[in-house]
Every structure is written in C-alpha cells, then in structure tokens.
Amino acid sequence: MSFNYLNKKGFTLMELIVTVILVAVLASYGVYYYTNTIREGEVKAAKGKLAALGGGVARFILEYGQPGLSAPLLIDTTIESGTCNYYSHNASEKMKSIFTCGYIEKSLGFDEKFNFYFGIPSNSACGGNLDTLSVFMKPKEQNVEGYPSCAFFNPNTDTVVEVQN
C-alpha cells in the first residue's frame, strides 16, 4: 500500500494556528472600535442633554433673573421634588423651579455616566471662562478614555464647550 501525499485533505496545525491568531487580532481591533463608538455615543447624548438643560436655564434666567448660587448645585433625584417657586430667596430652591415649573424635562438632568450641575463654570472645577450661571457636566468616573473632563453650556454662543484638563 502506498500513500499519495499530494492528495491529502485537511489543514495542517500551522495553518490552523495562523488562522486563529489572525482572527484574534481582527477581533481585538473590532472590540476596540466598538467600545470607542459606544463612548462617543454616550458623550454626544450627554452633550445633547447639556444643551437642552442650558437652554432651559438661559430661558429661566431671562425671565426671572440670575439666582445667586454660591456653589455648584448637583442635579440629582432630590432636585425634581418640591413646588414651583420662581421667587424664592433661596438660590437652590429657585434652581429647582426650573424642573418643577416645567422649563426643563425632569429626565434630562439624569445620566448613567455623567453628573450635571447648575453653577458658574469659571468658579467650579470645570475651568470654563464663563462668568454667568449655566449648566456643566463631569463624568462620574474620572479619567475615562474618550470622556471630556468637563463640559459646559455657553448661553452667549448657544454651544457646548468641552474642557480637557
């Protein structure tokens, strides 16, 4: 019985190893680009919320004046409770009126990845160059690749400005 090595069928071990390595390299690139795309989408969604919040704050300030917040006010679940009170002397109560009086949809201030604040960006850790009350955001987890360290809404230009520290 003689064997004909020219008519063999199947793959050698070397061919299989090379194929597995190539597939692993391509998959790692795919995962990297997928997570990068997800992060970009999260940042764009948060910037959209920030712009909507900033527009509502600007409209509120035009109608009722600027409340004198001494420190940034975190927008969290407690801020949506309360009654509509435009003329409160308490600045944080006045800022809550933006939600309770219907200037901004309550769900806009809440995000899984970012915290939103009422405040003056130049007085906060945001480092903006704005001297009027606005809204800014910071990531809940610091030093996440692809996230801005801070961003704020500039009502003068009607834009969202990213700050990288």
pLDDT tens-digit map of 56-78: 888 888 887 777 777 788 887 66
Q: Which of 23, 1, 20 is nearest to 11 (CA)?
A: 20
**Close Cβ partners of 111 (under 8 Å, ≥ 6 residues apart):** 45, 46, 49, 137
- Say what the pTM is: 0.75
- C-alpha angle with apex 71: 67 to 73, nearest 5 degrees? 75
What value does the mean pLDDT take over residues 1-19? Answer: 78
Split at pLDDT 50, 70, 90, the class of 128 is low
Q: Is the pLDDT of residue 152 over 80?
A: yes
Strand order across the beta sheet in which 159-163 lies: 73-75, 114-119, 134-139, 150-154, 159-163
Q: Is the pLDDT of residue 142 over 90?
A: no
pLDDT of residue 34: 93
